[in-house]
Homo-oligomer: A and B are copies of this chain.
Amino acid sequence: MQLTELSQIHRPTLDQALEVIRTRAYWTPHPEHPKAYSGDGKAAFDALLGGRIDLGQPGTDDWTGGEVSPYGVELGITYPHPDLDVLLPAMSAGTGAWRAAGPEVRAVVCLEILARISARTPEFAHAVMHTSGQAFMMAFQAGGPHAQDRGLEAVAYAYAEQVRTPTSADWSKPQGKRDPLELRKSFTTVGRGISLLIGCNTFPTWNGYPGLFASLATGNPVLVKPHPRAVLPLALTVQVAREVLSEAGFDPNLVALAAERPGEGIAKSLAVRPEIKIIDYTGSTAFGDWLEANARQAQVYTEKAGVNTVVVDSTDDYKGMLSNLAFSLSLYSGQMCTTPQNLLIPADGITTDAGHKSYDEVVADLAKAVAGLLGDDTRANALLGALVNPDVRTRLEAAAELGEVALASREIAHPDFPDAVVRTPAIVKLDGSRKYWATSDADAAYLSECFGPVSFAVAVESTSSALDLLRRTVRDKGAMTVGAYTTSAEVEQAVEEVCLEECAQLSLNLTGGVYVNQTAAFSDFHGSGGNPAANAALCDGAFVANRFRTVEVRRQA
């Protein structure tokens, strides 16, 4: 594989990505429809089961595995367990050549990795489905093209950032009648060191690719530490990356996998090793905060938990609002970091195109919309997927004790996977009066994240009260998303103001086929990086700019 050939193939894609991150228009080179892909993904996935994924990594001292699909299937796949004292030095060995390759070569090598992953999307779809519990179509789209989009977006940002400074410059400073001072300068982007990706259970590829590709494209080796329940999608990713690096003439050890034994908790010791200079993490607030506080030798990018709010003030499309919200609450059983949790509804009801609706009516109608959307088991299974782990079910069951249940969660049988735990979302009514949250030690249930298919219909005194609660929630708990429904220009402006001040991403009056919990790469930012839910956004300059440094060498000309 010639590097010039890689440039010819991928430079146009890179250029399109560079253009679209500036315009934020719709674009993707990765089709969403399964029929755009060839190959039998199921057969490829099945062939992996019970086998060993040998990546040929140095310092492999054991084989480990133990993934059990949320759909009930034991994967039985084993992965290399690393002796870090051997693997980490081996990962650094290829850094010089990777640095010398420069930003464009690194970008097109990354694009080749993404292209090969893209070609295997059907196989990745099964891998994501059987580790995250996502339904097949969601695993296909979010785990495939959408994840690849986010990876490509990160490569584009990384490339753009690195080429802002030229590789060389002539500098000539006039000195009046004397000869000018003249220097010849060269500028080289250098990576920071080994980058650690700590993967998550729910979106191993979607949340993993931005950091992986941003770091690799900026010259850093990347060690991938997957969630123990979601190793396969990232192991396949590492496999493809090593294959491409090798074929392109680089050291395959620039990308490696660190699988761990059950209960080993390798992330904690890895994160503070001096070789680790960058960390990308998606997961619990507790461990994210720990990383930020303790991995002081590294640049740490975290996406943690938040409490997402939808303010319901008024609407001119009541039906559209209900069906949009119903879909948002149902998708992947509410197990998205972007799923709305708190629906703030004025206690005296709202104005709609279908007349005034009391708080009780809004909640009942929403419950009906969800029940309707999920009334057919086949459709419900296709939307919900399986609960990712037993904790989610425990939390769901406990939620019924928190208040009046407006919509009870329903168990659904999966025709293909009898052991899958599939549950429809619950809606619980809670009193959102100020007295319950306007104190510094408020412990209202809706002021904590309740991850999973649970939403709270919170009766607030007024829209103004809703905005205050929104502000407090974002400030104290963080939010990946905020939604609002209103026909009032004044309310619209007020909710925008809260989001600008508290730094949260806002979706207004979504009643069609776009949902508050979905963001599109190249156009939408995922998270803001400015509230407690995440310290970075996907993807912007700040996400890539500090993954490398620029070394200048100047010589007298």
Contacts and interface: CB of A to CB of B under 8 A. Distances in A.
Interface string A528-552: 1110000001001110011001111
A165 B24 contact: yes
A470 to B, nearest CB: 14
A510 B185 CA distance: 12
A178 to B, nearest CB: 8
Contact of A172 (B26, B164, B165, B496): B26
Contacts of A514: 181, 183, 554, 556
A506 B551 contact: yes
B555 A509 contact: yes
Contacts of A169: 23-25, 523
A545 B530 CA distance: 12
Contacts of A254: none
Contacts of A550: 525, 528, 537, 540
Contact of A537 (B183, B549, B555): B549
A188 interface: yes
A518 to B, nearest CB: 10
Contacts of A504: 551
A89 to B, nearest CB: 14
A26 B427 CA distance: 64
A99 interface: yes
Nearest to A163: B22
Given A23-B169, A296-B292, A500-B188, A545 B549 contact: no
A437 to B, nearest CB: 19
Nearest to A277: B530
A499 B185 contact: no
A164 to B, nearest CB: 6
A127 to B, nearest CB: 26
Interface in A457-511: 496-497, 499-501, 503-511
A500 B174 CA distance: 30
A521 to B, nearest CB: 12
A310 to B, nearest CB: 14
Contacts of A170: 25
Interface string A160-182: 11001110011111110000010
A506 B171 contact: no
A26 B173 contact: yes
List the number of copies, as a whole number: 2
A259 interface: no
A545 B541 contact: yes
A192 B541 contact: no
B545 A540 contact: yes
A529 B506 contact: no
A286 interface: no
A293 B296 contact: yes
B551 A512 contact: no
A478 to B, nearest CB: 13
A12 interface: no
Contacts of A166: 22-24
A404 interface: no
Given A23-B166, A24-B169, A188-B500, A554 B508 contact: yes
Interface of A: 21-26, 96, 99, 160-161, 164-166, 169-175, 181, 183, 185, 187-188, 190, 192, 292-293, 296, 496-497, 499-501, 503-514, 520, 523-525, 528-530, 537, 540-542, 545-546, 549-556
Given A26-B174, A96-B497, A530-B551, 20 more contacts: A24-B185, A25-B169, A25-B171, A26-B171, A99-B500, A160-B164, A171-B520, A173-B520, A185-B523, A188-B500, A503-B551, A505-B553, A508-B556, A524-B554, A528-B549, A528-B551, A530-B549, A537-B550, A540-B550, A546-B546
17 contacts: A24-B169, A24-B185, A26-B173, A161-B541, A164-B541, A188-B500, A293-B296, A503-B549, A506-B551, A507-B555, A508-B554, A512-B556, A514-B554, A524-B554, A525-B552, A537-B550, A545-B545
